[in-house]
Structure 1
């Protein structure tokens, strides 16, 4: 149990089941060990949660205001421009999607620097090549995207409300 907890604690991204299984061996139940850890953490300000096929420690939401009040963001800018958020949403809902697909959605070319920033932040990555002449790259969201937006999978994305006007 300690190996699992220490490994997840030290990781900034979700730790996959395969990694945890390799730590404890095939004979041990990773699910049971994770449940035991979760039970021990019920009174703690953090919890062990499933994310993107693995597990991750997260602070409980009821402590968010205290953390925000105490955190010193320094010079970091973690906010997104409206266009960056729109492109993230387009990729999340329409993946895999090419730059041409994004152009169809927005009615204009999406800036390569914007795509590069989202890739640098590891929120999107190259997906499969499109089966078209030139085989352009497509884009997909990443596990970091899921973690940033507190999603366990893409199935947790909110339903789109489509306007008919």
Structure 2
């Protein structure tokens, strides 16, 4: 890790107040083999107390997962989200961009405006423009802070139905038609 460019990239990431995209890193560190520098740094910090990780296309140093409990004692515990807020967050994450009407349709109940406000204040949800339909409803999407908080590199890392059922988070309903089989298998059976 003695390469000058790698050291510049390390300094930029270390001093950053928030996670940085590759183009942001380049704007400070200059031109060089950024991919190789990030790989070298990730390998160098892999077994250390802090690690270099990519979350939502942004790079940051974070505490090693096995040491996180050491810091929890000194950190203020965040307020727990209501069930409505958790359901709303999940719907937005899995169906983004989603409108208020779509969220209400999936949940089966009206959503309190305060619920979306809490999620936006937490930095996990953001307005994502307006849908080009009558009434032009506002759409909502998840943020890189949501991905970072839940340790996801991208939305593709969200658990699937089989994983949620295995964790006991989804109860099988009588007459449940959701299949755990791959889509190709389901399509061939039909």
- Which TM-score applies when normalising by structure 2? 0.77
Task: Give ranges in structure 2 of 5+ residues lacking alignment.
Answer: 1-5, 163-169, 178-190
Larger Rg: 2
Residues of 1 paired with 2:26 and 2:80: CA distance?
Answer: 37
Cross-structure match for 1:121: 122
Aligned-pair distance for 1:4?
A: 1.9
Task: Confirm whether residue 158 of structure 1 aligns to residue 159 of structure 2.
Answer: yes
Q: Which runs of 5+ in 1 are unaligned?
A: none
Q: 2:52 aligns with which of 13, 35, 48?
A: 48
Instruction: Kindly indicate whether residue 29 of structure 2 is the aligned counterpart of residue 24 of structure 1.
Output: yes
> How big is the shift at 1:106?
1.4
- Conserved 8 A contact 2:12-2:29: no
Over residues 38-72 of structure 1, what are the superposed CA-to-partner deviations in whole Å (9 max), with x where a residue is unaligned?
2332442111011111211111111122222x324
Identify the structure with bigger relative contact order (alpha carbons < 8 Å, sequence gap 6+).
Answer: 1
Corresponding residue for residue 69 of structure 2: 65
Q: Distance in 2 between matches of 1:92 and 1:43?
A: 31
> Is the 8 Å Cα contact of residues 129 and 136 (structure 1) preserved in structure 2?
yes
Kindly tell me the number of residue pairs found equivalent between the two proteins: 161
1:12 deviates by 4.4
Question: Alignment partner of 2:27: what SS?
Answer: helix
